[in-house]
Amino acid sequence: MHFVSRGSWLVRSALQWMLLWPCVAWFCYPLLIRGRDRIPARPVVFIANHGSHADTAVVLRALPARIRRRTVVAAAEDHFWRIPSLGGFVSLLTGAFPFPRAGCEGLARAERLLRRGRNVLLFPEGTRANGGRVADFQRGAAILAQRGATIVPIGLHGSSEVLPKGTARPRRAPVSVSFGDPIEPEQGARTDKLQATVARLAAGARTCSEHAAPTFFSKFRSFALSRTAVWVTLGWAFLEALVWPVVPDFLLLPLVLAAPARALVFLGAAAAGSLSGGLVAYLLGSGPLGTGLLEAAPLVTDPMVASAWRTLTEQGPAGLLAQPLSGIPYKAFALQAVPAGLDLPGYVLMSAIARVGRFACVALGGLVLARLLRPFWERFLAPFLALYTLGFSAGLARVVAAWQA
């Protein structure tokens, strides 16, 4: 069973957007594409080097949508259709049709599809090659060219790193796709010529991948994976407990989005910095320096200070539990804890519950968003951070205005 009719396109497109493209966006990153403007509008035979089962998905994703919707893929009949349900699913997902390894039936099927206005994607090596090299081509593509088909060569690099031969678990790697100039039938395409052209394009794709400019996401992710990010988070949280006006949550969320595996590290750094700063604020709060810091702290208004004092004197250490949702900075509580009569053990315990609980909620939210919208962050992290900063600033201004005298 195979699904290459025009009516199957809508279902295939929906499945690709739901299942295939998110996987390509995540595992093939960055995906670099060159030369797809060279693809003619008439039916053609795409030929590409073959190093991985990921190759089909990569090539289809690299094609313009108007060309992809009429492209079918030659897939080994003895591999994918040995289980009919597997072959049917692969066909529905990618537009694959069974291509026998021996005999002329595979070429006959490809010719019929070309006559019906379809593009055909072939991997002339016949099987996946090891080590990224381009193995000897079978004669099928050259025969189609001799019979009047236009050939569009494609060079792939990196897909063999995403899903190496002999493994079932994909891993992340940069992938490059390079489309070559069409080879017309009258040019007398030969197997050795086609192989040399694809090998040259694959080498160019490798060079393109090696010299790709880093994206904003890759730069920010590199920062998130560095020790510097941990120290910045710790220092930010420490200073926010004393004088700094912007809460650590503002930094914590983007870091978790970029490097979700380090969520606990960032949570620990934010908590350690905030509690250390809170302890210093507690100790300073008994002297004139604490009063001076409270008066000079940016965005801390007199009503905030008064409300924090009232909460602490009425509720004791338990009043700190109300801080995360009050809109009042932690420093307004920390610098008044001693004058309000809070004992150190109770202050430290309630501060830990309030601060760690708040940071844990932010980190958990970042983890959920990172998993639900993985491809989104890689493409749109920069504009998201711009909107995030604007929204956070507007929210902060609104909170401060609400607490004005």
pLDDT tens per residue across span 86-103: 888 888 899 989 988 877
Whether 70 and 188 share a structural domain: yes
Residues 36 and 61 in one domain: yes
Alpha carbon of residue 176 to chain centroid = 17
Final residue in a domain of this structure, among 213, 239, 263: 213
Peptide bond just before 30 cis, omega within 30 deg: yes
Please write the tens of the pLDDT for every residue from 144-190: 888 888 999 999 888 888 888 778 788 888 888 999 899 888 665 78
Q: Is the pLDDT of residue 194 over 60?
A: yes
Residue 281, pLDDT > 60, answer yes
* Same-domain pairing of 290 and 371: yes
Each residue of 333-357: pLDDT tens digit?
999 999 999 999 999 999 999 999 9
Task: State the Cα–Cα distance between residues 4 and 18, nearest whole angstrom.
Answer: 19
Query: What is the token pair recorded at 226?
Result: 């560095």
Same domain, 124 and 140: yes
The pLDDT score that the predictor gives to residue 380 is 87
* Count of domains observed in the chain: 2
Specify whether 88 is located in the same domain as 174: yes
Domain shared by 86 and 221, yes or no: no
Same domain (yes/no): 188, 224: no
The CATH number of whichever domain residue 200 belongs to comes to 3.40.1130.10
Same domain, 29 and 65: yes
pLDDT of residue 29: 78
Assessment of whether the complete model's pTM goes beyond 0.85: no
Is residue 182 within 8 Å of residue 42, measured between CB atoms? no
Range of the domain at 62: 6-213
How confident is the model at residue 319, as a pLDDT?
Answer: 92
Residue 1 lies inside a defined structural domain of this protein: no
